[in-house]
């Protein structure tokens, strides 16, 4: 089906996905503090934004290239959104991609009330990999970061963890 405009396309997505609950999980404890990091699937409807806001989330990292415009449209007026998408193609991700995520998130977390939601389409690879790089930047070891995410969201694949670790090294982060 062809859509006449981007607005029509977004409205159709929201109608289709709006009835479903947001597919997400919160990491209960990390070096960021209790419950300050969430990870999951796409923001497909305004009801998903309502759920995030109700849970106290203030920031969103959209790691899915195909959802950047929709995330901005639905959440941008209520949450601070970083549209930093990439393809879920199994290829290594660049240090600059991870660097934008780390910079945005560490800046947000300076506010003790801030909470950040990391998402892609399904919440399996790109969103969890974005959360992983932040946990690593906050001082968690690779095993700790992986475990925190997988304990909260067992279906997370975190396919890009090797790229995240290489990016942190290239960006000069130490620890963990």
Q: Residue 34 pLDDT more than 60?
A: yes
Question: How deeply is 51 buried, as exposed, middle or buried, from its count of CB atoms within 10 A (0-12, 13-18, 19+)?
Answer: middle
Is 53 or 1 the better-scoring residue by pLDDT?
A: 53
Right CATH for 6-170 from 3.40.470.10, 3.40.50.620, 3.40.190.10, 3.90.190.10: 3.90.190.10
pLDDT band at 9 (very low <50, low <70, confident <90, very high): low
* Distance, CA of 44 to CA of 14 (rounded, Å): 6
Q: Residue 73 pLDDT more than 60?
A: yes
**Residue 86 to residues 26, 46, 89, 158, 161, Cα–Cα distance (Å):** 23, 23, 9, 14, 14
Is 40 or 47 the better-scoring residue by pLDDT?
A: 40
Q: Residue 78 pLDDT more than 80?
A: yes
Asked whether the beta carbons of 64 and 119 are under 8 A apart, the reply is yes
**Domain residue ranges of the chain, discontinuous segments joined by +:** 6-170
pLDDT band at 156 (very low <50, low <70, confident <90, very high): very high
Q: pTM of this prediction?
A: 0.90
Across 22-29, average pLDDT: 95
Percent over 70 (pLDDT), the chain: 89
What does pLDDT average to over the chain? 92
The predicted pLDDT at position 13 comes to: 61
Q: Residue 151 pLDDT more than 70?
A: yes
Helix (H, G, I), strand (E, B) or coil at 60: strand
* Distance, CA of 97 to CA of 26 (rounded, Å): 23
Count other Cβ atoms within 10 Å, centred on residue 45: 22
* Distance, CA of 36 to CA of 5 (rounded, Å): 36
* Distance, CA of 74 to CA of 1 (rounded, Å): 22
Minimal CA–CA distance to 126: which of 81, 169, 74, 66? 66
pLDDT tens-place string over residues 105-142: 999 999 999 999 999 999 999 999 999 999 999 999 99
């Amino acid at each position: 089906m062809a859509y006449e405009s981007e607005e029509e396309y977004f409205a159709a997505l929201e109608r289709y996905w709006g009835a479903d609950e947001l597919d997400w999980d919160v990491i209960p404890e990390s070096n960021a503090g209790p419950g300050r990091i969430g990870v999951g699937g796409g923001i497909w409807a305004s009801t998903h934004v309502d759920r995030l806001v109700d849970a106290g989330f203030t920031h969103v990292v959209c790691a899915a290239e195909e959802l950047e415009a929709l995330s901005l449209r639905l959440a941008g007026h209520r949450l601070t959104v970083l549209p930093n998408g990439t393809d879920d193609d199994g290829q290594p991700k660049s240090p600059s991609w991870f660097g934008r995520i780390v910079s945005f998130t560490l800046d947000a977390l300076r506010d003790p009330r801030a909470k950040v939601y990391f998402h892609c389409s399904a919440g399996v690879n790109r969103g969890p990999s974005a959360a992983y790089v932040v946990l690593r930047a906050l001082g968690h070891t690779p095993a700790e970061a992986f475990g925190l995410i997988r304990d909260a969201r067992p279906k997370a694949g975190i396919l890009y963890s090797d790229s995240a670790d290489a990016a942190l090294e290239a960006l000069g982060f130490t620890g963990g």
